[in-house]
A = this chain, B = another copy of it.
């Protein structure tokens, strides 16, 4: 049983900087690939991508679950995917009264954008 749950807490500063250089700069090391693949994987599901996009594009940068849960799957599945996005560090959640609001972790888009930035920019 290799079900070790060692989740290294993502410190805010650690989450921002050390993700990775652009994919085109040099071959990724195993560690870099592990970290970056986790983000890509989290967005590698259509339902999660729609949820993420719905939150990211929602006004104010945050969205209540009730506003984004219309993606064609059951409510527990939505909750499951939101949890995955949260575990991957892409979203944060906060309960305010009856509803739970999700919000995009700002550093994430920057990190992934840097990953895909070509060395030869415009």
A34, A50, A110, A122: residue with the most chain B Cβ atoms closer than 10 Å = A50
- A72 is contacted by which of B30, B110, B113, B117 (Cβ under 8 Å)? B30
* This chain's copy number in the assembly: 2
Separation of A26 and B56 alpha carbons in the complex (Å): 8
Separation of A71 and B56 alpha carbons in the complex (Å): 34
Q: List, in ascending order, chain B residues with CB within 8 A of A40's CB.
A: 40-41, 43-44, 49
A residues sitting closer than 8 Å to B (CB atoms) are: 23-30, 33-34, 36-37, 40-50, 52-54, 56-58, 68, 71-72, 104, 109-110, 112-113, 116-118, 122
11 sample A-B contacts, Cβ–Cβ < 8 Å, listed by A number:
A23-B56, A24-B104, A28-B50, A28-B54, A29-B50, A30-B50, A33-B49, A40-B40, A41-B44, A109-B116, A112-B116
